[in-house]
Structure 1
Amino acid sequence: MSTIDEVAGPARTTAVPEKLTGRLKLVLVVLLVAQFMLAVDFSILNVALPVIGRGLGFPLAQLQWIATAFALAAAGFTLLFGRIADLVGRRRLFMIGLAVLGLSSLLGGLAVDPTMLLIARVAQGLATAAVTPAGLSLLTSSFPEGPLREKALGLNGALMSAGFTTGAVLGGVLTDLLSWRWAFFINVPVALAVLLIAPTVLVESRGEARAKLDVPGALAVTVGLLSLVFGLTAAGEHGFGDPAALVALAVGVVLLVVFYFVEKGAAQPLVPVRILHKRTVIWGNLAGLIAFVTETSLVFLMTLYLQKVLGFSPLAAGLSFAVLGLGTVTGGVTAARVIGKIGTTPTLVVGGIVQAVATAALLGLGDDRSWMWLLLLATFVGGVGNMLVIVGFMVTATSGLSDADQGMATGVATMTQQIGITMGTPIMSAIATAGIADSAGADAILGGVSTAVLVNAVIVLVGALMAAVFLRKKA
């Protein structure tokens, strides 16, 4: 069977293509459409949650499980599916995941009770955990290291971030004009179209050697990540003093430590320890984690500001983030050129500093709508900086590795992305709402948001400094 590795291999030993061929453009379109759709799913239901609750009889306290059920499955199983993609074939898992996504979206749109909807959301999360690392592996193994891969990863990162923002806007539009059910139904034709086109443009790719799945390692990392995400979600809802949150976080940390030692002694580890010791993998993924934690949670903080302080409707608040989406697309499109001119690590550092400064500027927001210009300008600039970091992280975390390791590397990078998207909002929610009563006025809410924004900016700046120190030499 021919593989992508066979297609890409000669390019590495002879001449690396400088321009996208017609076939590579089709490969890029198929993979980017799938990744964009998955990113939209992370946020498309956020605005619609109250409407869904009323329609299906969800108790108010359980509404957050519509989002949490998806996030738990998406984050918890990503690394496992990244390794499975190496073993069974990346294109095969990519297509299986897309089929599950289409079917689960149809099930969610037809849901008649909370149980049916939660089953659909878990299935959507599992599909995301399968498709995302498989798609990224196909992307990195289809495009050789260098300008083409950087351009492809830049477009991928731009569309994923834009998808997260688009989801908030699209969810409000569909819910207002049609029904919340269309937030599910919209996935079905897109998934079907990709499934029909993918076999004609994607060539199967897998690791060079067939290996057995590291079951102990898979169990440790999967349950550990599930516990960590659950603990962070519980902390965001009830505060970091909540006993259930503390127990879940402790179990998650312990199991991830166990995972490291299991991998150290495993004959065929899920993630080889030698890879975890690579400086580019460690610090590249940490930079990516910070980028996703801070920018996705900033969307939550600004939503809180727009609705609770300025009195915007959910739809108007969602539309306000179109400028942020434009900033992320701008950053993604220009990231490859920036990396080509100044290098990957300087791009990480510059992007982090730009994002930190733009985030800090939001501390100047006031309690009336005359401050909207500052919000729009700062979120646009911050989106550009954030995308420079994200593309720099993906290039750093997947470079210098063989094609056989690409599934594993992209699985780790995807896990970083999913965990960052999942954990950012609970952390910033806990900071913003600390000490604010439910009946607090706009001034108190603005104070809580400002505190969280300050913490957000400091975290971004620390991430940029760490990248400058620990990635200063080219690996």
Structure 2
Amino acid sequence: MSGPDSTANRAPQKAGSGAILAFVCLGQFMVFTDVSIVNLALPSIQEGLDMTDVSLNYIVTAYATVLGGFLLFGGRLADTFGRRRLIQIGFTLFALASLVSGLAENGPTLIAARGVQGFGAALITPAALAILTNTFAEGPERNKALGVWGSLSGIASIAGVILGGVLADGPGWEWIFWINVPIGLGAALFAVRILPESRAEERSQFDSLGAATLTAGLLLLIFTLGEATHVGWGTFRTIGSLIGVAVLLTGFIVIESLVKSPMMPLRIFRLKTMRVANISAVLVFGTFAALFFFASLFMQNAFGYTPLEAGFAYVPLAVSVAAGAGIASGLVAKFPPRNLVMAGLVLAVVGLLLMWRAPADGTYLVDLLTPFILLGLGCGIVFVTLQIAAFVGVSDEEAGVGAGLINTSQEAGGALGLAIIATIAYSGIDSEMEATGGDPELIMNIQESANHDAFLSGAVLGVIALLVVAFLMPRADAGASHAEDDGKNLNETDLAPAESDT
């Protein structure tokens, strides 16, 4: 293992822990807002840049693909070269790419700029989360801070949808990107005044081959999952790409087991709570990514909402996410993470089942408000608790790796869940649409059925996540004793099985 985190070598801290928390949460909010902010603005962008339906999809996937693929790489860069430095570089790249996105005069320019945005976000997120975990001691203090951080994943995603609808119907779609420019550049400038610098003390050789192999594997996986919705799961292109993913990820594991200074030490997976939290995150974020995508379509297609109306319809869901996050932050020191995650997933599954039964001719108050509240509460509880569980027993020196891993699980899970659920929902829909002869009522019925299939599939994915948590996540509290046991097991031996796994 590398040496201890260079906490003692940090520059004098110029801001308190509250200011540090606010700063890193700003970065988190901006990153996750831009995951969803384009959704309701896509029709306006398509009209403004004369883009095809196929190319329009890449405005969303370019950002998410690069973000998900480079998160672990960004985490190791932060641990090696300095977390504050990576945050400054990330904010600068993000702001400049946002400027180019708003100025884009054609689709390829916008798609390329969105990819650079995703790379900047991949530098910001793991570095910011590592600084947070190093600023707050493990236990109640860190749990509260991670509660705030974790809640932003859900709140920012919903806020992005709302803000995108407001800006697209107001000053124009360009402003969904330009709004990031002053925020990003200002954050890069003020980071040196607020954030302490930290890195792993021993500057070991950087694992370039491991970084390249893992990043390539994740990029190919996330891209393949997104494309499978359009080209089909049984095509040579999809199957060949998945084989390529398996080869790259297997190669990464072999490399990490052989090199002296691995980018992602495999011993970190001996922490059972952390391991199950990441597996759960893949399933949970797949469920919620599909929810936000299909709920937006359902409200516009079935309920006839404008983008602005659909955006504001999410407000109760956003409020519920905040409430759920507050509940989780207050209870996580008193109850095991397992119990809280299970409770949140039960709420989410019930909400999805209610959405499954919502008719196309229904009303918002009767058919959507209650499931939105349940889904928001479940989302807030689960997001916060998984963020906390993912850092139980992780040492300060590997905080960047832990941060990159949980965020990679979230992004990969979102892409995987959406790809699978979209494939189920849209199976055979093209031929069904052709058979309607343009009849509006028949078209409405097909769209309603597709969205209902999606909500039911999301509920099934949520049940699978519930079973994983119920049977695999440790029953121990998230308190100091459990964290210390987990950390002790990791540090005492790099080769023997950890006691927490038995």
Q: CA deviation at 1:319?
A: 1.7
Equivalent AA in structure 2 for residue 200 of structure 1: R
Cα deviation per residue 1:21-77 (whole Å; 9 max; x = unaligned)?
Answer: 981111111111111011111111122222222222323321111112111211111
Say which of 451, 454, 457 aligns to 1:452: 454
- SS of 1:163's partner is helix
Q: Any residues of structure 2 matched to 1:156-175 within 5 Å, and which?
A: 156-175=149-168
Where in structure 2 are the equivalents of 1:424-463 lying within 5 Å? 424-437=417-430, 438=433, 441-463=443-465
Q: C-alpha root-mean-square deviation of aligned residues, in Å?
A: 2.0
In structure 2, the residue matched to 1:349 is 342
Give the whole-Å Cα distance in 2 for the aligned partners of 1:51 and 1:246. Answer: 34
The partner residue of 1:210 within 178, 203, 214 is 203
Report SS of the residue matched to 1:78. helix
The aligned length equals 462
**Corresponding residue for residue 137 of structure 1:** 130
Structure 2 unaligned segments of length 5 or more: list them. 435-441, 477-499
State the SS of the aligned residue for 1:341. Answer: coil
Counterpart of 2:466? 464
2:176 to 183, 188, 192: 183
Corresponding residue of 2:52: 59
Q: Deviations over 1:60-118 (max 9, x none)?
A: 32111111211121111111111011000011101110011111111111112223222
Q: Which of 246, 257, 261 does residue 239 from structure 2 map onto?
A: 246
1:258 to 239, 251, 260: 251
Would the aligned equivalents of 1:230 and 1:245 in 2 still touch at CA under 8 Å?
A: no
Report the Cα distance in structure 1 between the residues aligned to 2:117 and 2:235, rounded to whole angstroms: 29
| Residues in 2 aligned to 1:52 and 1:296: alpha-carbon distance in whole angstroms | 22
Alignment of 1:395-434 (within 5 A): 395-434=388-427
Given that 1:4 and 1:142 are in contact with CA atoms closer than 8 Å, whether structure 2 keeps it comes out as no
Q: Does 1:97 align with 2:90?
A: yes
- Percentage of identical aligned residues: 33
Structure 1 position 233 matched with structure 2 position 226: yes
Q: Is the 8 A contact 1:365 1:371 kept in 2?
A: no
Give the aligned partner of residue 115 of structure 2: 122
SS of the residue corresponding to residue 64 of structure 1 reads helix
| CA deviations over 1:256-304 (Å, ceiling 9, x no partner) | 1221122112211111111123212221101112121111210111122
Aligned to 1:321: 314
Deviation at 1:373, TM superposition (A): 2.9
Are 1:78 and 2:71 counterparts? Answer: yes
Relative to structure 2, which stretch is displaced further, 132-141 or 359-368? 359-368
Secondary structure in structure 1 of the residue aligned to 2:73: helix
**TM-score w.r.t. structure 2 length?**
0.88
Q: Read off the aligned partner of 1:338 and give its amino acid letter.
A: L
The 1:383/1:183 distance shift into structure 2, 3 A limit, reads same
How far did 1:371 drift?
5.4
**How far is the alpha carbon of 1:372 from its aligned partner?**
4.3
The alpha-carbon distance between structure 1 residues 243 and 326, as it changes in their structure 2 partners (threshold 3 A), is farther
Unaligned 5+ segments in structure 1 are 9-20
How far residue 128 of structure 1 moved from its aligned partner, in angstroms, is 0.8
Name whichever of 39-48 and 123-132 sits farther off.
39-48
1:111 to 84, 98, 104: 104
How far apart, in 2, do the equivalents of 1:163 and 1:419 lie?
18
Q: Is the CA contact (8 Å cut-off) linking 1:234 and 1:242 kept in structure 2?
A: no
Q: Is the Cα contact below 8 Å between 1:36 and 1:159 reproduced in 2?
A: yes
Aligned amino acid, residue 148 of structure 1: E
Q: CA deviation at 1:166?
A: 1.1
2:30 maps to 1:28: no
1:39 to 28, 32, 38: 32
**Per-residue deviation, 1:315:** 2.1
For the Cα contact (< 8 Å) 2:84–2:197, is it kept in 1?
Answer: yes
The alignment's TM-score, normalised by the length of structure 1, stands at 0.93
Deviations 1:297-348 (A, max 9, x none): 1011112221222222222122211221111111112211121221222112
Q: Is the 8 A contact 1:151 1:333 kept in 2?
A: no
Question: Letter of the aligned partner of 1:44 in structure 2?
Answer: I
